[in-house]
């Protein structure tokens, strides 16, 4: 008899306190970022070190040198390479990144170079994917980079709005890459998103529960728990 794989919940945070709250609430994985108000940038080495010493679940770290667009200069690309080495040194379990070329398509060559540098850590291609003009082609391009996952809202403002596109991406990806729906996911809509997309991993920052800069970690923990419990009831 085949045992169905459980759903996986990834929560994005920008502090150790939020990471601890997410872990207590039932997060299976943490996406560690700096400055979520800018969409997330590479966290400091100190934040990686302290988070790794206190968090038991896997931590994927953002690799993004600034909060601008995703077409990087040679100097910014060199910075990303250094940041990946730091992430490996400080015990991260994966990296999250994305690079466009000047036409907003996936920069396959440079992304693949970062994916190879990150090994054995897996790479998630983040929501830069949603800025591409042709998502089916972008899917094939990311697969060519050997990234393990794509974090995406299906090109929409949120995963709920993009559910139909996400379902097509999940079907097209098959076993070649993992599609991770994200953006606007919470306990009130996760059932609908799971049922429509058929994805198995999901990402949330719960921005409506813990606005960026808030320190109400108890409320954040409760929001993560509600989301995790809603997912568990679907398994």
Alpha carbons 96 and 194: distance in angstroms, whole number: 23
Name the stretches of the chain with pLDDT < 70.
1-4, 208-213
Alpha carbons 207 and 91: distance in angstroms, whole number: 27
Instruction: Give the single-character DSSP code of 27.
Output: -
**What pLDDT is stored for residue 145 in this prediction?**
98
**What pLDDT is stored for residue 1 in this prediction?**
31
**What pLDDT is stored for residue 210 in this prediction?**
67
**What pLDDT is stored for residue 24 in this prediction?**
98
Of the candidates 172, 97, 86, 161, which has an alpha carbon nearest to the alpha carbon of residue 134?
Answer: 172
**What pLDDT is stored for residue 163 in this prediction?**
98
CA atoms within 13 A on the CB side of 162: 23
- Over residues 124-142, the pLDDT tens digits come to 999 999 999 999 999 999 9
Q: Are 175 and 143 in contact (CB under 8 A)?
A: no
What angle do the packed helices 74-89 and 45-54 form, to 10 degrees? 30
Alpha carbons 170 and 15: distance in angstroms, whole number: 31
Peptide bond into 235 cis (omega under 30): no
Q: Are 208 and 220 in contact (CB under 8 A)?
A: no
**What pLDDT is stored for residue 7 in this prediction?**
96
Domain 8-232 belongs to what topology?
A: TIM Barrel (3.20.20)
C-beta contacts of 140-144 below 8 A and 24+ residues apart: 141/105, 141/106, 141/108, 142/106, 142/111, 142/177, 143/173, 143/176, 143/177, 144/108, 144/112
pTM: 0.95
- Over residues 73-128, the pLDDT tens digits come to 999 999 999 999 999 999 999 999 999 998 999 999 999 999 999 999 999 999 99
**What pLDDT is stored for residue 3 in this prediction?**
42
**What pLDDT is stored for residue 209 in this prediction?**
67
Where are the domains positioned within the chain?
A: 8-232
């Amino acid at each position: 008899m085949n045992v169905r794989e459980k759903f996986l919940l990834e929560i994005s945070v920008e502090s150790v306190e939020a990471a601890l709250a997410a872990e207590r609430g039932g997060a299976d994985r943490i996406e560690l970022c700096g400055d979520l108000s800018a969409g997330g940038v590479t966290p400091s080495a100190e934040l990686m070190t302290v988070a790794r010493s206190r968090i038991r679940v896997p931590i994927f770290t953002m690799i993004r040198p600034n909060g601008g667009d995703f077409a990087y200069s040679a100097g910014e690309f060199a910075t990303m390479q250094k940041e990946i080495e730091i992430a490996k040194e400080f015990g991260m379990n994966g990296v999250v990144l994305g690079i466009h070329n000047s036409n907003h398509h996936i920069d396959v060559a440079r992304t693949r170079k970062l994916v190879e540098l990150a090994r054995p850590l897996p790479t998630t291609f983040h929501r830069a994917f949603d800025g591409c003009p042709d998502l089916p082609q972008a899917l094939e391009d990311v697969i060519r980079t050997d990234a393990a996952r794509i974090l995406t809202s299906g090109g929409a403002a949120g995963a709920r709005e993009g559910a139909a596109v996400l379902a097509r991406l999940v079907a097209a990806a098959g076993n070649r890459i993992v599609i991770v729906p994200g953006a606007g996911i919470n306990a009130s809509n996760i059932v609908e998103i799971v049922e429509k997309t058929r994805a198995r991993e999901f990402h949330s920052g719960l921005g409506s529960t813990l606005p960026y800069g808030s320190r109400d970690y108890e409320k954040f923990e409760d929001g993560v728990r509600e989301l995790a419990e809603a997912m568990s009831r679907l398994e």
